[in-house]
Structure 1
Amino acid sequence: MHDMSVKWPNGARCAVMLTFDFDAETLWTSRDPENARRPGVLSQGRYGAKVGVPKILDTLREEGVKSTFFVPGWTAENHTDRVEMILKDGHEVAHHSYSHKWVSDDPQAEVEEMEKGLEALKRTVGVVPKGYRSPAGEVSEGLFKLLKQHNFLYDSSLMDDINPYRHIMPDGSKGVIELPWHWSLDDAPFALFSVKTPRPIFTNEHMLSVYKEEFREIYRWGGLFDMIFHPQVGGRPSRIALIRELIAFIRTFPGVWFATGAEVAEAWSKAHETE
């Protein structure tokens, strides 16, 4: 069998990143600017900040797990107290654009979203992020140049592997490290309902079966399990229970390393790259 396994710290067999895309209202305003005038729609995003984040932080604290929160600049400006809570608990805050717009076909807007987001994180909470995740995994060819230019350590926007790898730039130089993700390990496709994009809301049992099967096999391969929750989705009462149950399931496997994105990227580079 093709050996895909990675050398993780302390002989761990599998690395687990529990990540949270803290989009808040930007999830709704970025797709349809009209939503800015719809308090009902926005309240869905606001739940993530108001209730979701504190409940998720309580859960992670109880479980003793450190996570990465991908935070749009707008969220940092409008829910600064929540981003401060995340940092106070020792979690990583990474970059997730400024306003969650899809800008992959507009290079100028992409630069603006990158720079405004960086500026907002620095100004509001003093964070210079090491990691980046694009909204909805939409990326342009120019993104990787931008990430290199701004000295990012890693990106988590692509779906072409289950293990970290190093981007090589067109000129042959080293780009950022990629920490791949996939829609099957994301709560949004299973539980994010809106009137404009109606879809079924699945039970915990259904979602957990997808996540557990995926974990079981990634563990067997020796890979990276990169799980994505959104506080407005994963912060609902029953979904908090799902997070607890998923962590408990993962902990039944020996040699699992829970880590932040920055820790995973640094450990992978140390083990697999010779300077």
Structure 2
Amino acid sequence: MPQGVILITIDVEDWFQVENFKPYISYEEWPSCELRVHSNVREILSLLANFGVKATFFVLGWLAERLPELVVDIHRAGHEVASHGFDHRLTFDLSSQALEKDLHRTKTILESLGVEVRGYRAPSFTVSRELLKLLRKTGHLYDSSLNTFRLHGRYGYLEGASDLPFKTTAGILEIPVSNLSWGKWVVPWGGGAYFRLLPTSVFIKGVRRILKNRGLYVFYFHPWEIDPNQPRVPASWGRRFRHYHNLAATKQKLKDFLAAFSGERFLTCSQYLELVEKGG
């Protein structure tokens, strides 16, 4: 297995498409919501370019249909474009037939824009054995939908799986997001709200420990997390806290994170897949 590697992954969804706000914003309202994702992605592309880092962008098909230039910009900047499903419906909420249609539809939309789609990440990490079989059937080569933190109510679960990449029985590579382990305890350390909540210095120390023990760190975040001026949704206090806390500081935290690991090896998920297949 390749050693000393960091994978930066971005789940490309807009502020109104997140799972926390589904009780407040219906799918029917999406077309009337302000699209802010493209300007946020442009900022991320600029930030990554400044550090010479290539990343994997898991893009919603719904956004790719409306903002094809978003996909083109990501691709032209030398990053990988992968699938995040069509409209962020949890895989658990779809029948097998509907899920297969969703996977095929999104892959087709993205590839019509001149990119090769090899990978997929399920909304809210809703991984399952059925999903992995359907990914293989629809021509995907890897998945990054496993989060081994078990105290989150929406995350999927694969019996016996660790947070190290492994070849699934479906024949594709699973690339889990990274977490810290203390004995039997798993502490979420892959990014997202956990990255925004923790002091940057503490988060970096945890990442260094993961790299030392695992040789690989997989990080994720969302474009809306660098956008403190996004519209406010009148959600419950807990949902608002998880979504809005520390947005104004996230861009600087990302800069500090990338600077701290500037000497490490950054790869896209597809590049990592190729290394694994070559035994590098």
Q: TM-score, normalized by length of structure 2?
A: 0.76
Q: 1:29 and 1:99, CA in 2 relative to 1: closer, same or farther beyond 3 A?
A: farther
1:208 corresponding residue in structure 2: 200
1:119 corresponding residue in structure 2: 108
Is residue 2:129 matched to residue 1:141?
Answer: yes
Distance across 2 between alignment mates of 1:270 and 1:227: 23
Alpha-carbon shift at residue 38 of structure 1 (Å): 7.4
Letter in 2 for 1:263: Q
- Among 91, 94, 102, the alignment partner of 1:103 is 91
Letter in 1 for 2:213: W
Q: 1:38 and 1:72, CA in 2 relative to 1: closer, same or farther beyond 3 A?
A: closer
Letter in 2 for 1:164: P
Distance across 1 between alignment mates of 2:21 and 2:119: 21
Is residue 2:36 matched to residue 1:47?
Answer: yes
1:90 corresponding residue in structure 2: 78
Distance across 2 between alignment mates of 1:268 and 1:145: 20
CA contact (8 A) 1:162 1:223 kept: no
CA contact (8 A) 1:138 1:157 kept: yes
Distance across 2 between alignment mates of 1:87 and 1:30: 29
Alpha-carbon shift at residue 138 of structure 1 (Å): 0.6
- 1:127-177 deviation digits (Å, cap 9, x = unpaired): 2311111111112321111111223221101134332211124xxxxx101
Q: What is the SS of the residue equivalent to 1:163? A: coil
Distance across 2 between alignment mates of 1:184 and 1:61: 24
- Among 252, 264, 267, the alignment partner of 2:272 is 264
Distance across 2 between alignment mates of 1:207 and 1:155: 30
1:172 corresponding residue in structure 2: none
Give 5+ residue unaligned stretches, structure 1: 1-5, 170-174, 192-201
**Equivalent residues in 2 for 1:9-28 (5 A)?**
13-24=3-14, 25-27=16-18
Q: 1:235 and 1:56, CA in 2 relative to 1: closer, same or farther beyond 3 A?
A: farther
**Equivalent residues in 2 for 1:26-65 (5 A)?**
26-27=17-18, 31-32=22-23, 34=26, 36-37=28-29, 42-43=33-34, 46-49=35-38, 51-65=39-53
CA contact (8 A) 1:28 1:35 kept: no
Distance across 2 between alignment mates of 1:82 and 1:131: 18
Q: 1:26 and 1:112, CA in 2 relative to 1: closer, same or farther beyond 3 A?
A: farther
Letter in 1 for 2:206: E
Identity %: 29
Distance across 1 between alignment mates of 2:206 and 2:270: 23
Q: TM-score, normalized by length of structure 1?
A: 0.77
2:120 corresponding residue in structure 1: 132
- 1:22-42 deviation digits (Å, cap 9, x = unpaired): 0124336993462643799x4
Q: What is the SS of the residue equivalent to 1:142? A: helix
Deviates more, 1:155-164 or 1:92-101: 155-164
Letter in 2 for 1:118: K
Q: 1:91 and 1:229, CA in 2 relative to 1: closer, same or farther beyond 3 A?
A: same
CA contact (8 A) 1:164 1:224 kept: no
Give 5+ residue unaligned stretches, structure 2: 148-160, 179-187, 229-247
- 1:191-226 deviation digits (Å, cap 9, x = unpaired): 5xxxxxxxxxx3xxx252453132111121142211
Deviates more, 1:263-272 or 1:25-34: 25-34
Alpha-carbon shift at residue 60 of structure 1 (Å): 0.7
Distance across 2 between alignment mates of 1:216 and 1:145: 34
Alpha-carbon shift at residue 126 of structure 1 (Å): 2.3
- Among 211, 217, 231, the alignment partner of 1:219 is 211
Is residue 2:241 matched to residue 1:230?
Answer: no
